[in-house]
Structure 1
């Protein structure tokens, strides 16, 4: 068995991660534009891609384990580094290139997600600040004439509706 199936699985993972990076950039644009419809659509697309990545990664694990069994190793932890010790020539170079490209895409995705997270947190702080400014505080609700010193507990214990009426 050659390493071609493993290479194909890694190439598929790389392609899916590149698509996921594109959706992360689209998500940033939707967040900046405050377009909730577009954001919802991007999140649904992102969920599909994540499921596809999980499937592709499971396929990569299966093919790597098969490759290792074919080489006489019954290892279940067939990492890319382990595979590289059993490959040579063009297959080895291709696996190394795919590994580097995949790591680069994962790093880019992590950075983009961090940027999106910070932007969303900033938006939430702004919304909370706006709500705090719009909603009056409890001490602002009740007016008390300075000449009429009423007990504060009595003032706040009154209901807005008189139950005896």
Structure 2
């Protein structure tokens, strides 16, 4: 029974990560289209998904501990250890396929978010270059600082008293 609850939780985690991947792809589309309003909506949806994922992950940890205690084994530290301790073959295969799907979704999500990060960095660089072109700095307004030869000598006054 505890193993079935764990399987349901992992399935929900897999579904949430797939949904997060779709949100990430939409964010990429909105970044490319420069649609900031839609991007803002996607960021809010992403925040809700991340909170739900964190809650499900906590539930998964508790369910793993409950299952391990019921089976009389130490709490497995990794998924591989978890799969090795399951005696029911069909449950183990089902759990393994869900875990593989979850791992693939997380990997795709990381790749997509790396792309979004690169797009944001390039956008920020473009904005900075545009701002620099529109508002040049004070030093670039002058052609250069006068050299020492062109400056008036400091010890000579404007009034020549010997005349």
Q: Name the TM-score, length of structure 1 as normaliser.
A: 0.82
* 1:90 corresponds to 2:90: yes
Check conservation: 2:2, 2:66, Cα contact below 8 A.
Answer: no
Confirm or deny: 8 A CA contact 2:25 2:112 kept in the other structure.
yes
Instruction: Return the index of the structure with the highest Cα Rg.
Output: 2
| Change in 2 beyond 3 A, CA 1:142/1:72 | same
Contact 2:2 2:63 (8 Å CA) reproduced: no
CA RMSD of aligned residues (A): 1.9
Verify: 1:48 aligned to 2:48, yes or no. yes
- Segments of 5+ residues of structure 1 without an aligned counterpart are 152-165
Unpaired runs of 5+ residues, structure 2, are 153-163
SS at match of 1:136: coil
User: 2:72 corresponds to which residue?
Assistant: 72
Q: Please tell me whether the aligned partners of residues 24 and 112 of structure 2 are also in contact (alpha carbons under 8 angstroms).
A: yes
TM-score after normalising by structure 2: 0.83
Give the structure 1 partner of residue 158 of structure 2. Answer: none
- State the shift of 1:52 in Å: 0.4
- Displacement after TM superposition at 1:73 (Å): 2.0
How many positions carry a matched residue from both structures? 147
